Amino acid sequence: MSGQKILVTGGAGYIGSHACVELLQENYDVIVIDNLSNSKSESLTRVEKITAKSLTFIQADIRDKQALSDIFTTHDIYAVMHFAGLKAVGESCLQPIRYYQNNVYGTLVLTEVMEEFGVKKIIFSSSATVYGEPDTVKYSEDLPVYGATNPYGKSKAMIEEILKDLAQADTLSNASNPWEIILLRYFNPIGAHISGLIGEDPNGIPNNLIPYVSQVAVGKLEQLSVFGGDYPTIDGTGVRDYIHVVDLVKGHLRALDSLGSISGCKAYNLGAGKGYSVLEIIAAFERITGQTIPYEIVDRRTGDIAENYADPSLALRELSWQTEKKLDDMVADTWRWQSQNPNGYE
Ligand code: NAD
Ligand code: UFG
């Protein structure tokens, strides 16, 4: 609702910055807390440029209880969108303590302070990775949250369990101001704001397909390694459900609308409900950018699965949300951001 204050943790990051744009455009007041461990404050300057509105930025860590308390003392927060977290799968295998410390402990500090101030509405950035490796390629929310294969994914599953327990405790005690918690399980967010002013700005060599392909297209990287050509998929390469980041953050706005009328903890998939293979992504990039994407098919990447895509029907039924953008929009918007900002925010 217009004028309500939303605390956006990790708001300077890729998805958080796009959420700030949508929130400001829907007339919310936005307070961002970010320690800039994986982002630059320039993203927020650009958010203000896109929206011609201002937001409040506090550079702090969500594990800093005093900093969080100060925010809740100063601002009458309606709800929290919780994006802050570390997200690199490979890095999490090498630095598990850092991942659990940042993601799990960070969420504990945040929810503790929220509870102290009686602010008990939260939308959490979860991931399809919490489903582990189920026996199906189409994931619906009733699949067990079990078997994430790396500390990053396990941290998301653990946080989901913690948040479910908070809601359960309020049910047991018949709390007068119960937790309202929405877990949003993202499939593969890609794309950028249509202005080309904000987008994904990974540090170093990208791990994920789309940032890698776009850096090949812009000439920063020589060629793409396609991880596996012998999967049981349409063309042997991995299939994923790519979702435009603006569609994704619109899902958060619809989740925000539903707070106030739900109780407890609810999980929703945010995905398009359709998968594309790596070769289909390469073809779309070549078509849209006019560049050739050199690639080589190499061995499978450890931990990858062949194929997955969302069953997004619950979000349509209960949040009146579905994706609107098509693959060509995702690629064109990625390319606009990448070609206008070949070195990201630097
Ligand atoms: P990102 O790294 O661009 O953004 C995360 C932001 O959180 C960064 O700005 C970082 O500086 C900040 N941050 C990290 N730890 C912090 C802490 N302790 N205190 C304060 N700020 C902190 O990542 P993103 O792609 O925007 O992802 C946002 C969220 O969505 C993450 O929780 C991520 O795990 C989740 N998610 C992302 C994807 C994806 O593919 N991008 C998929 C599923 C889930
Ligand atoms: N791929 C390549 N070459 C690359 C990078 C990726 O061929 O250089 C392939 C992968 O093998 C996969 C597809 O492109 O088939 C997509 O890979 P990404 O790394 O872009 O995405 P993932 O589906 O592996 O990972 C994403 C998120 C993770 C999350 C996971 C499960 O990035 O954070 O989904 O939800 F854990």
Neighbours of 272 (CB within 10 A): 24
* CA-231 nearest atom, ligand 2: 15
Cβ–Cβ under 8 Å, residues 27 and 3:
yes
Cβ–Cβ under 8 Å, residues 268 and 183:
yes
Active-site option among 14, 152, 186, 309: 152
Largest Cα span, the chain: 61
Q: Which ligand is nearest to the CA of 17?
A: 1
105 among known catalytic residues: no
Place of tokens 């047991």: 172
| Residue 8 CA to ligand 2 centre (angstroms) | 26
pLDDT of residue 277 exceeding 90: yes
Mean pLDDT of 106-118: 98
From 145, 215, 301, mutation site for ligand 2 pocket: most ligand atoms within 8 A of C-beta: 301
DSSP-derived pairing of the beta strands 138-139 and 309-310 = parallel
3-state secondary structure of 276: strand
**Ligand 1 pocket, residue 186 CB under 6 Å:** yes
pLDDT value for 263: 83
pLDDT of residue 208 exceeding 80: yes
d(CA 13, CA 32) in angstroms, rounded, equals 10
Instruction: Classify each residue of 83-97 as buried b or exposed e, where b means 16 or more C-beta atoms within 10 Å of its C-beta.
Output: bbbbbbbebbeebee
Residue 7: its H or E element: strand 5-9
pLDDT value for 116: 98
Q: Mean pLDDT, the chain, as a whole number?
A: 97
Summarised one tens digit per residue, pLDDT across range 25-65 is: 999 999 999 999 999 999 999 999 999 999 999 999 999 99
Summarised one tens digit per residue, pLDDT across range 72-105 is: 999 999 999 999 999 999 999 999 999 999 999 9
pLDDT of residue 194 exceeding 90: yes
Residue 130 amino acid letter = V
pLDDT of residue 151 exceeding 90: yes
| Residue 207 CA to ligand 2 centre (angstroms) | 8
Extract long-range pairs of 197-200: CB within 8 Å, 24+ residues apart.
197/46, 197/49, 197/50, 197/337, 197/340, 198/17, 198/18, 198/21, 198/43, 198/46, 198/47, 198/50, 198/337, 199/14, 199/333, 199/334, 199/337, 199/338, 199/341, 199/344, 200/14, 200/245, 200/334, 200/337
Mean pLDDT of 218-241: 97
Q: Whose CA is nearest to atom 14 of ligand 2?
A: 209
Which pTM value belongs to this model?
Answer: 0.98
Mean pLDDT of 122-130: 98
Bridge partners of residue 79, in order along the sequence: 6
231 backbone dihedrals φ, ψ, rounded to 5°: -75, 155
d(CA 234, CA 183) in angstroms, rounded, equals 31
Summarised one tens digit per residue, pLDDT across range 134-147 is: 999 999 999 999 99
3-state secondary structure of 277: strand
pLDDT of residue 166 exceeding 80: yes
Mean pLDDT of 330-338: 97
**Ligand 2 pocket, residue 213 CB under 6 Å:** no
